């Protein structure tokens, strides 16, 4: 992400955090039910019981609560670029392994069984498609088993200014250039899609 975009994103979410606190509104979800449905679909990528998991740009780490409710043995790690979010996570969930920083920076490295990203492409930036490609590529490089991520869909009939709506077909084709094992899901919300990418 370009420096000016990163600064704008951080400022945007810091202001929302100050206004709404730890709320789904801060993250831009229309309602809690849509956030939960996205989590359910992401978790259907495979057998994640006891898995080592990375949550990329984790927001308020709500995915942690969802995962732990289903499997207390899952090993959750997270990275988030918005300092206010990380401060909240460390206070509300001190047991969570979370790092403040940019996932795409070279200094951030490691390997996890599953790498997840929910809602990270929603806010439009100057190079949204390029940023999406870079993020997907690094997520796949850092996974041992699979990647699962979602995005707003170009097929959405309702749009808000400042949002990025990706082409499911174009995104699928890019993912297929990285691995032959790709699943595209556009069956759970009309304005949203999820992709699974597998090592084998």
Tens digit of each residue's pLDDT (9 = 90 or more) over 36-52: 999 999 999 999 999 99
Q: Where are the domains of the chain?
A: 3-198
Report the pLDDT value the prediction gives residue 6, as an integer from 0 to 100.
87
> What pTM was estimated for this model as a whole?
0.94
Report the pLDDT value the prediction gives residue 142, as an integer from 0 to 100.
97
Report the pLDDT value the prediction gives residue 24, as an integer from 0 to 100.
76
Given pLDDT bands bounded at 50, 70 and 90, which one contains residue 30?
Answer: low
CA dihedral 155, 185, 74, 20 (to 10 degrees): 10
Report the pLDDT value the prediction gives residue 11, as an integer from 0 to 100.
92
Report the pLDDT value the prediction gives residue 94, as an integer from 0 to 100.
95
Write the DSSP assignment of the chain as a string of letters: --HHHHHHHHHHHHHHHHHH-SSHHHHT-S-HHHHHHHHHHHHTTS--TT-EEEEET-TT-HHHHHHHHH-TT-EEEEEES-HHHHHHHHHH-TTSEEEES-TTSTT----EEEEEESSTT-B--TTHHHHHHHHHHHHHHTEEEEEEEEEEBTT-S---TTB--B-HHHHHHHHHTT-S-EEEE-SS-TTEEEEEEE--
Residue 73 has pLDDT above 90, yes or no: yes
Residue 152 has pLDDT above 90, yes or no: yes
| Domain 3-198, classified CATH 3.40.50.150, yes or no | yes
Residue 172: phi, psi to the nearest 5? -60, -45
Residue 28 has pLDDT above 80, yes or no: no
């Amino acid at each position: 992400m370009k420096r000016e975009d990163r600064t704008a994103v951080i400022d945007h979410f810091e202001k929302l955090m100050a206004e709404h606190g730890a709320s789904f509104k801060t993250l831009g979800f229309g309602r809690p039910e849509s956030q939960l449905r996205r989590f359910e679909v992401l978790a259907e990528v495979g057998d994640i019981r006891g898995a080592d998991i990375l949550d990329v740009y984790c927001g308020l780490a709500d995915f942690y609560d969802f995962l732990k409710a289903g499997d207390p043995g899952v090993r959750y790690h997270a990275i988030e670029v918005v300092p206010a979010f990380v401060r909240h996570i460390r206070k509300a969930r001190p047991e969570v392994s979370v790092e403040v920083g940019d996932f795409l920076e070279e200094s951030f490295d490691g390997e996890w069984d599953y790498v997840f990203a929910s809602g990270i492409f929603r806010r439009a930036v100057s190079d949204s498609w390029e940023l999406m490609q870079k993020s997907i590529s690094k997520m796949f490089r850092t996974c041992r088993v699979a990647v699962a991520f979602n995005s707003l869909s170009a097929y959405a009939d309702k749009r808000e200014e400042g949002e990025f709506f990706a082409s499911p077909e174009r995104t699928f084709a890019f993912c297929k250039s990285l691995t032959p094992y790709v699943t595209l899901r556009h069956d759970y919300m009309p304005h949203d899609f999820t992709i699974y990418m597998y090592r084998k």
